[in-house]
């Protein structure tokens, strides 16, 4: 005899789930790291490469472009010689900082539990 399927009491999911939308952004390779480093202020491409030495230039360009398209970062061309580009967090990007800080806090607890065992 099969078990009766219970009704789900969670609120209905909107057509585009906001949790999935946010996690698809934060789940991108290197995205949380980039948000973390940009939380300290505007950074140039080369500075971000030195912040995250293991990231390739190709992946960094792709991540920055994707984050700009979603409105998380702002790309500003600086009038200098030679011309330079700075990346900074938008207001939306700044809203992700507490989320990443919370993830880091839980990660530290998990790490300490793993090393204590």
Q: Which domains does the chain have, with CATH numbers?
A: 30-116 (1.10.10.10)
Q: Output the pLDDT for position 36.
A: 95
- Whether 37 and 45 have beta carbons less than 8 Å apart is answered as no
Residue 85 tokens, joined: 């580009």
Helix (H, G, I), strand (E, B) or coil at 76: strand
Q: Output the pLDDT for position 16.
A: 77
pTM, 2 dp: 0.79
- Look at the block and give the residue holding tokens 């290197």: 30
Contacts of 96 (CB under 8 A, 6+ apart): 25, 26, 35, 72, 89
List the chain pLDDT tens, one digit each, 117 residues.
Answer: 788 888 888 887 667 778 888 888 888 889 999 999 999 999 999 999 999 999 999 999 999 999 999 999 999 999 888 889 999 999 999 999 999 999 999 999 999 998 887
Residue 69 tokens, joined: 């398209």
Helix (H, G, I), strand (E, B) or coil at 61: helix
């Amino acid at each position: 005899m099969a078990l009766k399927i219970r009704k789900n009491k969670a609120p209905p999911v909107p057509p585009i789930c906001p949790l999935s939308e946010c996690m698809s952004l934060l789940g991108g390779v290197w995205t949380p790291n980039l948000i973390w480093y940009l939380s300290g202020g505007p950074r140039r491409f080369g500075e971000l490469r030195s912040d995250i030495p293991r990231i390739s230039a190709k992946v960094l360009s792709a991540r920055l472009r994707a984050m700009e398209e979603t409105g998380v970062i702002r790309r500003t061309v600086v009038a200098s010689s030679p011309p330079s580009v700075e990346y900074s967090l938008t207001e939306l990007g700044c809203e992700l900082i507490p989320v990443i800080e919370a993830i880091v806090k839980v990660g530290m607890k998990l790490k300490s539990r793993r090393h204590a065992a």
